[in-house]
């Protein structure tokens, strides 16, 4: 029995499962997740015995066992992950490449020294060093990219670890190994270095793409914020002018009221007071909430609703200091309310041209509930539970950002359409 290769492969599988465990957000409890990872480790180790010990000279066995192990590895990452998408597949493929790098170094040590114990310890140290480096330097960046929706699809990026994995396999392990042709060790090491450099470039690209998308949405919010402030400033300015005119004319109204009192013309007096109350109501600045950014965004949305002749029944309770990122919350509110306005603006019936919105954000909880009439069929994605856009793959990003925000704050997101009314609810308890 080739004890060195058996133990070397077991060490690789152990670090592979550790990498997958650390670099995904878990769908299940810690104990269940550890159990799933251990079961996969056990399956990988058992199948290694087939290709290394039972059928060591069978290329067919090696091929089928390798395919099975690839399936088990990638399925484990996708199965335990909270979000089962192409980003998880990219991470799983990347994990396979990193542990192959450690296995290659261990094999190079063994070929160079002939000392099995030293090579196993050296390979384990390399595995551990790579894992610790990635854990402390890259894990946080990766999880941020993992949670954000800056890049909807990662299928193209998945090709990078796939080709690296195939390159490693055919160069160092199949059909001939490093042990049989030690002269290729230098080429394999250079290939490992090339892989690390390539991943640095990939992560920088992903980070820059994420930052670019974040800057874009912040600019959109700032634009809405500035427009809201400009609109409120114009309203305050006009209100001041109207109230100055009203104050100037008050003495005339007072004289008229005194004269009408003497004549007993109470109905006319009532008309004057109603007029004065109407002027003051028209020039009252509406304050929707305490937070300035949310106030500006809500003001902009309400003005848009008025221009579209849509009635918005708004129940807003948003405190000045928020327990969540206010830019992200503003984006969520803007997305959901604009979607609701778009959904009802084509209706001709007045009672259907309305939106019910409950927006509560306090130190204890967040509740967003939007309701609007809906006559068209809504198709829900069976994987996410979110409505699917009929306008193509580049649409529906607003709902994805809402989902990402809900996941980030540990909230619950629900969408449903019943009896011609579409409802969406976001709730989180702090």
Is residue 30 a part of any domain in this protein? yes
Domain boundary among 163, 186, 214: 214
Average pLDDT over residues 22-47: 91
Instruction: Count the neighbouring beta carbons within 10 Å of the beta carbon of residue 189.
Output: 14
Let me know if residue 371 belongs to a domain.
yes
Sheet of 311-318: strands edge to edge?
311-318, 354-361, 365-373, 421-429, 412-418
- Residue 162 shares a structural domain with residue 299: no
H helices present in 81-154, as ranges: 86-113, 116-137, 139-147
Q: Are residues 197 and 329 in the same domain?
A: no
Q: 29-43, 79-93, 183-197, 220-234 — which one is most confidently predicted on average?
A: 29-43
Q: From 214, 230, 256, give the residue that closes a domain.
A: 214
Q: pLDDT tens-digit profile of 197-222?
A: 777 777 677 666 666 666 665 665 56
Q: In total, how many domains does the chain have?
A: 2
pLDDT for the residue numbered 395: 42
Query: In the structure encoding, which two tokens stand for residue 38, read together?
Result: 């251990």
Confirm whether 278 is domain-assigned: no
Q: State yes or no: pLDDT of 151 exceeds 50.
A: no
Q: Tell me how far apart the alpha carbons of residues 379 and 384 are, in angstroms, rounded to a whole number.
A: 12
Q: Looking at the structure, do residues 207 and 293 belong to the same domain, yes or no?
A: no
pLDDT of residue 38: 94
> Is the per-residue pLDDT at 2 higher than 70?
no
pLDDT at residue 175 tops 50: yes
Of 83, 157, 148, the closest CA to residue 381 belongs to 83
Residue 79: CA atoms inside 13 Å, Cβ hemisphere, count? 15
Which of 48-52, 215-219, 266-270, 336-340 has the weakest average pLDDT?
215-219
CA dihedral 401, 402, 404, 408 (to 10 degrees): 130
Over residues 402-430, the mean pLDDT reads 86
pLDDT of residue 393: 47
Angle (nearest 5°) at CA 416 between 317 and 358: 10
Identify whether residues 330 and 202 lie together within a single domain. Answer: no
Angle at 252 between CA 247 and CA 255, to 5 degrees: 125
Q: What is the pLDDT of residue 367?
A: 93
3-state SS assignment for residue 292: helix
Q: Is the pLDDT of residue 149 over 60?
A: no
**Together in a domain, 163 and 293:** no
Q: Is it the case that residue 94 has pLDDT exceeding 70?
A: yes
Is 420 domain-assigned?
yes
pLDDT at 21: 92
CB atoms under 10 Å from CB of 397, counted, come to 16
Residues 189 and 300 in one domain: no
**159 shares its domain with 294:** no
Q: Minimum mean pLDDT among 122-126, 221-225, 305-309: which range?
A: 221-225
Compute φ and ψ for 371, nearest 5 degrees.
-130, 140
Q: Between 42 and 152, where is the model more confident?
A: 42
Domain boundary pick from 170, 194, 214? 214
Torsion angle defined by CA atoms of residues 30, 36, 37 and 40, in that order, rounded to the nearest 10 degrees: 180
Closest to 267 in 3D by CA, of 257, 277, 276: 257
pLDDT of residue 409 exceeding 50? yes
Residue 329 has pLDDT above 80, yes or no: yes
Please tell me the distance from the alpha carbon of residue 362 to that of residue 12, in angstroms, as a whole number: 48
Arithmetic mean of pLDDT over the chain = 79
CB neighbourhood size of 120 (10 A): 19
Query: Of 118-127, 202-211, 242-251, which gets the smallest average pLDDT?
Result: 242-251
Same domain, 197 and 301: no
Give the whole-angstrom CA distance, residue 139 versus residue 123. 22
Residue 161 has pLDDT above 80, yes or no: yes
* pTM of the full structure: 0.53
Using alpha carbons, list the distances in angstroms from residue 393 to 157, 264, 304, 390: 18, 72, 27, 9
**3-state SS, residue 110:** helix
**What pLDDT is stored for residue 311 in this prediction?**
92
Torsion sign over Cα 11, 13, 18, 23: positive
Q: Residue 394: give its domain's CATH number.
A: 3.30.565.10
Interval 297-320: pLDDT, tens: 888 888 889 889 999 999 999 888
Q: Is residue 116 situated within a structural domain?
A: yes
Task: Provide the pLDDT for residue 186.
Answer: 79
Is it the case that residue 228 has pLDDT exceeding 90?
Answer: no
Whether residue 422 lies inside any domain: the answer is: yes
Cis? peptide before 175, omega within 30° of 0:
yes
Other Cβ atoms closer than 10 A to 163: 14
Range of the domain at 315: 287-430
pLDDT of residue 356: 94
**309 part of a folded domain:** yes
Q: Are both 210 and 292 inside the same structural domain? A: no
The rounded distance, in Å, linking the Cα atoms of 84 and 27 is 10
Given this model, what pLDDT does residue 394 score? Answer: 43
> Residue 94: what are its φ and ψ, rounded to 5°?
-65, -40
pLDDT in tens, 357-406: 999 998 889 999 999 998 877 777 766 667 776 554 444 556 777 887 88
Residues 87-95 have a mean pLDDT of 84
Is residue 328 one of the residues assigned to a domain?
yes
pLDDT at residue 284 is higher than 60: no
pLDDT tens by residue, 43-65: 999 998 888 888 887 878 888 88
């Amino acid at each position: 029995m080739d004890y060195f290769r058996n133990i070397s492969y077991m060490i690789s599988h152990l670090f592979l499962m550790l990498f997958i465990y650390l670099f995904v957000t878990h769908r299940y409890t810690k104990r269940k997740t550890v159990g799933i990872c251990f079961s996969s480790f056990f399956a990988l180790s058992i199948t290694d015995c087939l290709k290394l010990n039972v059928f060591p000279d069978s290329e067919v066995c090696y091929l089928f066992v390798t395919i099975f192990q690839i399936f088990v590895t990638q399925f484990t990452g996708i199965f335990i992950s909270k979000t089962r998408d192409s980003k998880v597949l990219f991470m799983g493929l990347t994990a396979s490449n990193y542990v192959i790098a450690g296995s290659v170094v261990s094999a190079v040590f063994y070929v160079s020294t002939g000392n099995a114990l030293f090579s196993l310890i050296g390979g384990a140290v390399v595995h551990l060093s790579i894992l610790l480096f990635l854990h402390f330097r890259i894990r946080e960046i990766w999880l941020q990219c993992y949670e954000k929706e800056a890049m909807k699809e990662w299928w193209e990026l998945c090709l990078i670890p796939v080709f690296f994995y195939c390159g490693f396999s055919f160069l160092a392990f199949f059909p001939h190994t490093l042990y049989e042709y030690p002269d290729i060790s230098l080429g394999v090491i250079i290939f490992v270095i090339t892989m690390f450099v390539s991943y640095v470039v990939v992560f920088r690209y992903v980070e820059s793409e994420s930052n670019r998308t974040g800057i874009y949405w912040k600019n959109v919010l700032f634009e809405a914020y500035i427009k809201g402030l400009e609109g409120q400033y114009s309203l305050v300015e006009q209100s001041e002018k109207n109230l100055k005119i009203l104050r100037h004319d008050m003495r005339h109204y007072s004289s008229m009221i005194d004269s009408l009192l003497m004549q007993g013309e109470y109905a006319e007096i009532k008309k004057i007071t109603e007029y004065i109350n109407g002027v003051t109501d028209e020039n009252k600045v509406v304050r929707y909430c305490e937070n300035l950014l949310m106030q500006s965004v809500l003001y902009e949305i309400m003005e848009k609703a008025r221009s579209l002749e849509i009635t918005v029944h708004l129940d807003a309770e948003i405190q000045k200091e928020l327990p969540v990122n206010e830019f992200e919350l503003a984006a969520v509110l803007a997305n959901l309310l604009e979607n609701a306005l778009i959904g009802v603006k084509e209706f001709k019936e007045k009672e259907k041209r309305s939106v019910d919105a409950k927006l509560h954000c306090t130190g204890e909880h967040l509740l967003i509930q939007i309701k609007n009439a809906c006559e068209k069929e809504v198709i829900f994605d069976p994987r996410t539970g979110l409505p699917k856009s009929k306008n193509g793959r580049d649409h529906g990003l607003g709902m994805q950002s809402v989902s990402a925000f809900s996941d980030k704050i540990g909230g619950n997101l629900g969408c449903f359409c019943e009896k011609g009314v579409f409802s969406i609810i976001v709730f989180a308890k702090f």
